[in-house]
Structure 1
Amino acid sequence: MVEAARKRRGRPEEDALFDRELDHLPPEARWREWMHRVEATIFAASEPVGRETLAKIVGKSCSIDHLIDDIREELRGRPYDLVAVAGGWKHLTRPAYADAIRAAVGGGEQPTDLTQSEVLVLMCIAYFQPITRGELSSFFGKEVSRDLIGHLRGAKLIASGPRSPTPGAPYTYVTTKEFLLEFGLETLRDLPDFEALEDAGLLSKEKLLAGDIPAGLGSVEDEIEEQADVVGDRDEQE
């Protein structure tokens, strides 16, 4: 514990010794070093790295967005990219190489296995959060079980949100960072547009509220999952 306290006390001093600005370097070399720092940090991290973290390793005048753009430009011909996901950036291989990776080393982390009903409930939470289990049950005209909610929570796709102002103050449910990671979304704003799904015949709000599962439900899930592919190879199609 004493050692931990000593390390905590030493951090400000260590931070002061870390040269963020690199004023001794010419502008081009300084920019290149910042690029290397940012790429190395993202590469080493197991989770998406946010803007606030990256700002600690570059100069105050440095534009993180421009830096990321330059790194991505250099990675344009590589089989991996820096992808904006779950509020940060992460190194991800391009979808075109998924089959080769699976053939060589297997599938790695498997996508969460959800039933059709769980996908539908998850979709409702994503679009209408924060929402209570009672409100979800009203949407479908039948009870949404605690077991179903528990499975989505166990998969870390949803979490408890603020208590509802309705009688009894039940907990609401919201999607999580893991939900964004699972479907390759940077923020909830990247969810497929609800009205566009209706126009495409993939989802009917009336049927959804009535509790009828639309015939195109599987396509809705595919539409959400395809966000990861769009993020991964959008530059290749430009």
Structure 2
Amino acid sequence: MSDENFEGEVRQRQLRILEALLFASSEPLSLAEMSPYVGDGANLPVLIEELRALYANRGVNLVRRGDRWAFRTAEDLGFLLRREEEETRPLSRAALETLAIIAYHQPATRAEIEEVRGVAVGKGTMDILMEAGWVRMRGRRRTPGRPVTYGTTDAFLDHFGLEHLSDLPGLDELKGAGLLSSRLPPSLQIPLPFDGALRDDEDPLAPDDQGDAVSDDD
């Protein structure tokens, strides 16, 4: 067997491994999580793009969600598989507005969220968003009181079908979808959200910070 044929077989095997991993996973996977299964020397960024191209015109597509990848039903065929699901705890208007503000203003503290909304964030609102897996505690702001900063998760991107935060809809689209209410100031501007690890004005969370979300900024 020539070297070229051997390399081609190795590449096909690597693609099949990635395909199997992604189909078997219930959650999007990062390249780092898939790397141990593919073998040393594999060019994962190139392989994943090749796999995405292979599925570009199929009933399922390989999509990116932040730094993770997953197979999802092609957007134009989603209506065929849509299921009616009962929402045991539907999101309130306050929770939807809070989620939208965090998405666009992250990293944001509770005080900053309240400043944008013009009303206080209820004690359970942040709990609901964190339990849904759409919001996470990022760090602590380097300001008096060291308030917790919040941001969205890859699960948020996956649920709303976004590849990056830059794919978020505009302000008018948010209002039209009912995610922002008329109570918000007309001068509200949508900033560029930051989804990196930590900003220069943030410190890492301490081990005991996870239980501090609801009381922070009170």
TM score, norm. by length of structure 1:
0.63
| Structure 1 residue 157: Cα displacement | 1.6
The residue number in structure 2 matching 1:71 is 51
The percent identity for this pair of structures is 31
Distance 2:21 2:173 in 1: 43
Q: Which residue, out of 105, 123, 126, partners 1:146?
A: 123
Contact 2:116 2:184 in 1 (8 A): no
- TM-score by length of structure 2 reads 0.68
Any idea what the Cα deviations from partners look like across 1:72-121, whole Å, max 9, x if unmatched?
3332442111111142111111122222223xxx3469698433332222
Asked if 2 retains the 8 angstrom alpha-carbon contact of 1:161 and 1:172, the reply is yes
Gaps of 5+ in 1: 1-22, 215-219, 221-238
Of 91, 96, 99, which residue of structure 1 is paired with 2:76? Answer: 96
Deviations 1:177-224 (A, max 9, x none): 3212211223334334xxxx35x6867xxxx8x95277xxxxx9xxxx
Q: In the alignment, which residue of structure 1 is the partner of 2:213?
A: none
Contact map agreement 1:86 1:187 (CA 8 A) in 2: yes
Which one has the largest radius of gyration? 1
Alpha-carbon separation, structure 2, partners of 1:111 and 1:43: 28
SS of residue paired to 1:126: helix
The more displaced of 148-157 and 120-129 is 148-157
Q: Which has the higher contact order (CA 8 A, sep 6+)?
A: 2
- Structure 1's 65 and 160: CA in aligned 2 closer, same or farther, altered over 3 A? closer
Alignment of 1:1-238 (within 5 A): 26-102=6-82, 106-107=83-84, 113-192=90-169, 197=170, 211-212=183-184
Contact 1:142 1:211 in 2 (8 A): no
Aligned to 2:203: none
Q: Which amino acid aligns with 1:137?
A: E
For 1:42 and 1:151, how far apart are their aligned partners in 2? 28
- Tell me the distance in 1 between the aligned counterparts of 2:173 and 2:10: 52
Cα RMSD after superposing both structures: 3.3
- Checking the alignment, whether the CA contact within 8 Å between 2:133 and 2:156 is kept in structure 1 is yes
> Which ranges of structure 2 fall in alignment gaps of 5 or more residues?
191-218
Deviation of 1:174 (Å): 1.8
